[in-house]
Amino acid sequence: MNLQHLFPAGSVVPQGAAGAEEILEEVLRRTEASFLAAGSDLVDAVEVLRLVGGLFDRLRVTFGPENGDRLVALIAATRGHVAEIQGGFGRLVDANEAVRLAVRSVRVEVGDLDRVVRTIANVSINARIQGNGLIPPRPQVTAFIERLAVMAAEAEAILRDVREAMAGIGAEMVEMDAVTQDLREELGQKVLPALARFDRMAQGVLDRQDAMALTNAGLAKRMDTINAEVSRLVIGLQSGDATRQRLERVRDVLHLAAGSPWAAVLLELAAALSDAAVKAAAGEIAATVEAAGTVQKSADVAVGQARVCYVERSVNMAGEGDAAAGFAASIASVRGKLGLMRARAAALRERLGAILRHEAALRQIGHQVRLSGLNAVLICAKLGEDGRALRELAQWLRMLTDESDAIVMRLQTVLDSTAGLADRMGGESIGGFETALHAFFDEAAELGSFIERIGQDRAEAARTFDDVGQSLPKKLGHATQALAGFQLLLGEMTFFDAAVAARLVGLGNAAAPDAEAGEVLAGLRKRYTMQAERDIHDRIVGAPVPATVKVAAGAAVAVAVAAAASDDLDDILF
């Protein structure tokens, strides 16, 4: 607010006029303008301080012990979940390694089975060669050779499916190993470091809670003191209204003096009332201006400290809100990789199932080959020397089928074990790891939201004190300027004193107050609002007038008696 128009440079005496009435009117106008301006700015300052008080109430909760305890609990919970994440990943890696070792065992058994089946196929070929050499051909031998060839072909077909499944299992294991390595890198290079940064950030917020609570309490106390001082200044503005009323009484006396036969008494009364009003106001306004200046300095210091505290802390926290977003992105990537790993484990389990589905057929083929071999041994025994080679092949075939049975039994065992490991990895291990991630993310999301609210409160405090740092000192400064202007204005009442004195000199011999004057003066006395004014009135009206003005003693006494009778009632009414 520009206050220059309230206190224009130069005398309060309007150009071309020097009468007491004009001077007094100008002083009254400027007095009212000064106190209206000061009052408006102080009311605005009180409103600003009220908003600041509400902010401090919220900050007391933000930095209070309840929020501190909750912050401690959330940080402890997230740290526990971080340990669970590390343990869950360790178990997942162990499960993947167990599956990989189990698949290696399956591959060994499948290799042995492949060797046996190929050997049986070779035996079938040799048996055909030996059988074709028999003269004459033996139908039983031919039937055995044909059945053996069919069973060998069936076994080889099954083995092709098994080899294809094993190739797929190998590919799935390569994918799972790659995903495991990606997870290890994602966790080691991104997730866990992000979690550590988030933990440090949360711990930093917690570490600052107590300091912020103490700072907030100290600032709140200082601002409460400033608020009380500003409120007292607002109340102190009533002195301006009292001064205005006293000067208005002076104006009333001047109006009565205009053209009055007893003007000398009235002018002397006006001068005395004016002098008393100015002296009383001068003392009060000096104290008020000094208090306003002190309050302004206190507000400057307090708001400056608050700005340093909250604005700088808010800037320091500006990057902390991104910590949760950083590990959230990493965890989302981990979840995607876990989904891929689960799919690979399911595919591996399906391929193991394909091998298991051939287990019964392999057993059946082995059983039939064994029976055929036994029959071949019996048949060849009847052939004598001609069937000796076939008999040796049949015996060898029997040993191969025994070995095949043992391999199939071991294969079934390792397949069952591998399938169980794959199921546990795809379910329990990955699921447990995901559960740990999910639990951490939920807890961390709450912690992040909690920290974000603290940051928002700090940011709000920073914005508020940034605004208050500009508006409050300005409002208090304007109010102080307005009050100081009124203080200077009181000094210019000397122009009024000079004008009244000049009029008194120019009156010459004036008429003495009579009974009519007594009534007028008594009526004037009733309009006073302060006992000091009535005392001045009684002193002037009851005192001897100058030699040029003969004051009737009876009239003066009558006026004094009439006025005294209504003093108490006037005070009560006021």
State the DSSP string of 206-230: HHHHHHHHHHHHHHHHHHHHHHHHH
Say whether pLDDT at 17 is over 60. Answer: no
Across 226-235, average pLDDT? 83
Q: Is the pLDDT of residue 272 over 90?
A: yes
Asked whether residue 138 carries a pLDDT value surpassing 80, the answer given is no
Whether residue 178 is predicted with pLDDT greater than 50 in this model: the reply is yes
Higher pLDDT, 132 or 118: 118
| Of 510, 170, 95, 511, nearest in space to 347 by CA | 170
Q: Largest alpha-carbon pair distance within the chain?
A: 184
- Cα–Cα distance for residue pair 551/573, rounded to 1 Å: 32
**Pairwise CA distance, residues 340 & 346, whole Å:** 10
The residue assigned the tokens 């000061």 is: 38
The enclosing H or E element of 523 equals: helix 515-526
* Two structure tokens written together for 404: 């095949």
**Per-residue model confidence as pLDDT tens digits over 539-572:** 988 643 443 333 433 444 344 444 444 454 444 3
In the predicted model, what is the mean pLDDT of residues 82-108?
88
- Confidence class of residue 435 from pLDDT cuts 50, 70 and 90? confident
pLDDT of res. 318: 47
DSSP 3-state of 82: helix
- What number is the average pLDDT over the span 301-324? 65
Cis check for the bond before 136: say yes or no (omega within 30 of 0): yes
Residue 343 burial (CB < 10 Å; 0-12/13-18/19+)? middle
pLDDT classification of 574: cutoffs 50, 70, 90 = very low
Give the pLDDT band of residue 33 (cuts 50, 70, 90): very high
Whole-number Å distance between alpha carbons of 350 and 394 = 37
Model confidence over 334-361: pLDDT tens digits? 888 888 888 888 888 888 888 888 777 7
- Cβ neighbours, 10 Å, residue 223: 22
Q: Which pLDDT score, from 0 to 100, does residue 572 have?
A: 36
Q: Domain coordinates of the chain in residue numbers?
A: 31-498, 511-541
**Is 265 within 8 Å of 513 (Cβ atoms)?**
yes
Q: What is the pLDDT of residues 471-485, one digit of tens each?
A: 888 888 898 899 899
> Among 180-194, 311-325, 384-398, whose mean pLDDT is lowest?
311-325
**Mean pLDDT score of the chain:** 79
Of residues 550 and 530, more confidently modeled: 530
Encoding tokens for residue 215? 């700072």
CA–CA separation, 217 and 57 (whole Å):
10
Stretch 211-239: mean pLDDT, rounded?
82
Cα(119)–Cα(115) distance, integer angstroms: 6
User: Rounded distance, CA 364 to CA 382, Å?
Assistant: 28
pLDDT of 409: 86
pLDDT of 515 above 70? yes
Check: CB of residue 493 under 8 Å from CB of residue 278. yes
Q: What CA–CA distance (Å, rounded) separates 118 from 159?
A: 10
- Residue 541 to residue 514: CA distance in whole angstroms: 12
The total of other beta-carbon atoms located within 10 Å of residue 101's CB is 12
Helix axes 192-236, 238-257, angle to 10 degrees: 30
CB contact set of 378 (below 8 Å; sequence gap of 6+) = none
pTM score, whole prediction: 0.61
CA neighbor of 285 nearest in space, from 24, 18, 493: 493
